[in-house]
Structure 1
Amino acid sequence: MQDIALQPGQILARGVARHLRLHDFVSVEEFVPVRGLRMDVFALGPKGEFWVVECKSSRVDFTSDSKWQGYLEWGDRYFWAVDADFPTELLPAETGLIIADGYDAEIIRMGPETKLAPARRKVLMQKFARHAASRLQGFRDPGVSALSGPC
């Protein structure tokens, strides 16, 4: 598979998703919990836990992101995913850290756990399932995506 069409953040997201699979997490990339927020990787763990992972490909990419704190309330843990050359001292110490490339990743620092409220967890579980199913259907039958509305 060539990475020609993938942006640097998407390449990191792929490595993160591959690594999280080893921990029995499934994930959706570019997940929108509410209008105005788009998570790079939203992962669902084996015990129903949600992890939010924001992928940053450069210092400029990180410093231009002014809404990352808005993602904290949408997961049980929050992580940054960056490549090995990223200046990690820029990242808040109270968040998780993943070093990634397009093929794998390593969790360097576990993000602190902040449990989601049960009502929010239920809504996110339904959105996650619908989003994943819709994306799968789009791969299986690309013509159907033009017929359907948003999830």
Structure 2
Amino acid sequence: MYSIRWHGIALCGLILGTSSSAHAAPPGASDLANEVSSDAAQCAAFFEISATCAANTDAMATAADLLEHRKVMEKIAFLMGKASGMSVEGVQARFATVSDAELESISRSCVNFSVLLHRYGRACRDFEAHPEQRMTDLRSHGLGTAWPNGLPD
């Protein structure tokens, strides 16, 4: 079930991972990794809040599934944060900041959850299912460049 997501995480790591002697990171790679990490942190917060709201309605199976989605996005946020040069504490602080902002946008009430669903729902589901597409989209807007000789070893 999650093999496609983990494949996407592995692809992100290959594309933006640490430099090797054979393949230096392309120009803008740390900016791209930082943006992907930021997006993933926003989605992780979205899935966590979604799980909390689902649990409040006794939809525990849904809440558990949403927490699994959060874990995937959190993994991407940390992986890409590391690739961009962020510390673990920096990624944790980013997550706390975006989580707090998302909670404020719904007045800390699940009654207003539709605001988050409208803002993040589809984008976060798409990002989780196809993280490589998010990187392609960011590159098309001038952030980062493709590896000139294919993926690093």
TM-score range, shorter chain: under 0.3
> More relative contact order in 1 or in 2 (CA 8 Å, sep 6+)?
2
Q: Greater share of strand residues, 1 or 2? A: 1
Q: Greater share of helix residues, 1 or 2? A: 2
